Amino acid sequence: MPPDPNSMIAELARLMNCVQLDETVLQLCIKLLDEGANPQQLAKHILAIKKETNSILT
């Protein structure tokens, strides 16, 4: 049986140290990837948003 897409994207989020992404965001990432979004660019933008959010909150 192929791996569950949600568990795969959750593992990617963990590897990128973006564990605070909720399931809605993870599902959006899956949809974007299914539609052909570039995974590297998507990860780059997620990390940039995380960095900006952290700078605002600290």
Task: Give buried/exposed letters for 16-52 (b at 16+ CB in 10 A, else e).
Answer: eebeebeeeebeebeeebeeeeeeeeebeebeeeeee
Give 9-43 pLDDT, tens digit per residue: 777 777 777 667 777 888 888 899 889 999 899 98
CA distance 36 to 38: 6
Q: In residues, how long is the chain?
A: 58
- Domain-wise residue ranges, the chain: 5-57
User: Is residue 29 within 8 Å of 42, Cβ to Cβ?
Assistant: yes
Quote the pTM value.
0.62
